[in-house]
């Protein structure tokens, strides 16, 4: 048994945080499924921006430009084409796990982040266009995004909640998800709507790398992760969720995102072995996945009670780090970054469309 198989046996699901057309054409993603125990996939505008810039999509962009498609429309066509193929690769896993695993993700336009109704309409439309049961629509877990998450779940649209950074953010996302499921139960609809809550990790340590004491370097993200996992297990064990589970609902799974180590002095698998826990997902870019496959080690699984998270977070507070305020800042900056990446992607498609014309 290789180390990725061993990690999977320990409880976490391993997903790939990348997709390109060439990875589909060369069966690279299938290789990850077969050899690396990968059971799902996530994507974002930055990933597609880089992929489109590689030239892999020139022929497809030429055809769409000839048809008069501009801006967001050719992107969503390209992304849906790729994600449909990826969803089909993961469909056997999705069916074998009865919908627990085997998911792919597509993001709504971040330009809609402050418009709940348009976000919900876009989520429904994209999910219908993709026509795959195992496809999540990504909606940010910002204050403006929470009502859209509830509405999408109530409408039966599976959701990957993004841009979560703290236990408070996670609880708000879980509450929105549970409200949506409760509405489905009350309406007599199937409550088993898939969802994951994606908590971003590496940005925590980057944010304090120049201000935290040396002995706390690269420990804030893991401390926050422990705190989030405690909140997750508390929600899982709550009477509220257990009542819904009795009605046929599923738990919104916790997903660790942004797991590439940014500090060259730290382990390149820090946010993999350091966040291993049952009932979770870890989505990794290729280099992190390959590093873990090559030399990763299986650490101790996270304790359900949060372990030393309170003590660790207290040390950061003593060092002048306001964790709650930093979480809000990271979420706000993340939302702005998503918009910037989206605009870069739209510009990239426009440039490529003109270049191949």
Catalytic residue among 50, 64, 124, 138: 138
Contacting residues for 58 by C-beta, under 8 A, at least 6 apart: 352, 355, 356
Question: What is the distance in angstroms between the CA of the first residue and the CA of the last residue of the chain?
Answer: 50
Q: Read out DSSP for 139-156?
A: EE-STTHHHHHHHHHHTT
Contacting residues for 9 by C-beta, under 8 A, at least 6 apart: 1
SS3 state of residue 188: coil
CB atoms within 10 A of CB 103: 31
Residue with tokens 């996302």: 173
Q: Which residues of 256-279 are buried (b: 16+ CB within 10 A; e: fewer)?
A: bbbbbbeeeebbbbbbbbbbbbeb
CA dist 123 and 119 (Å) reads 6
**Hey, which residues does 200 pair with through a beta bridge?**
257
Q: What is the token pair recorded at 259?
A: 């797991």
Active site residue 354: no
Q: What is the token pair recorded at 285?
A: 């870019």
CA dist 252 and 198 (Å) reads 10
Catalytic residues: 138
């Amino acid at each position: 048994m290789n180390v990725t198989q061993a990690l999977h046996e320990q409880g976490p699901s391993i997903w790939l945080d990348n997709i390109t057309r060439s990875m589909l054409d060369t069966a690279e993603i299938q290789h990850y499924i077969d050899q690396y125990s990968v059971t799902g996939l996530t994507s974002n505008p930055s990933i597609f921006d880089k992929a489109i810039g590689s030239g892999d999509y020139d022929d497809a962009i030429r055809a769409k430009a000839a048809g008069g498609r501009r801006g967001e429309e050719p992107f969503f066509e390209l992304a849906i084409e790729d994600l449909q193929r990826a969803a089909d690769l993961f469909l056997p896993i999705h069916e074998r796990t009865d919908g627990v695993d085997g998911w792919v993700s597509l993001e709504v336009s971040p330009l809609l982040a402050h418009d709940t109704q348009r976000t919900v309409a876009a989520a429904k439309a994209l999910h219908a266009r993709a026509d795959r049961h195992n496809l999540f629509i990504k909606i940010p877990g910002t204050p403006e995004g929470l009502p859209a998450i509830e509405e999408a779940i109530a409408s039966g649209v599976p959701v990957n909640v993004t841009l979560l950074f703290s236990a408070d953010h996670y609880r708000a996302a879980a509450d929105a998800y549970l409200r949506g499921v409760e509405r489905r139960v009350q309406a007599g609809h199937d409550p088993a709507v898939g969802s994951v809550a994606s908590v971003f990790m590496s940005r925590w340590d980057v944010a304090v790398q120049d201000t935290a004491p040396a002995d706390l370097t690269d420990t804030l993200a893991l401390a926050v992760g422990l705190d989030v996992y405690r909140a997750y297990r508390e929600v899982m064990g709550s009477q509220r969720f257990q009542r819904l589970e009795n009605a046929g609902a599923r738990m919104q799974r916790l997903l660790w995102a942004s797991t590439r180590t940014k500090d060259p002095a730290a382990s390149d698998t820090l946010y993999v072995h350091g966040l291993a826990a049952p009932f979770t997902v870890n989505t990794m870019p290729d280099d992190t996945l390959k590093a873990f496959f090559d030399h990763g080690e299986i650490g101790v699984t996270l304790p359900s009670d949060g372990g030393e998270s309170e003590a660790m977070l207290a040390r950061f507070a003593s060092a002048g780090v306001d964790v709650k305020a930093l979480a809000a800042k990271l979420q706000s900056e993340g939302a702005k970054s998503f918009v910037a990446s989206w605009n870069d992607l739209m510009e990239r498609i426009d440039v490529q469309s003109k270049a191949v014309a």
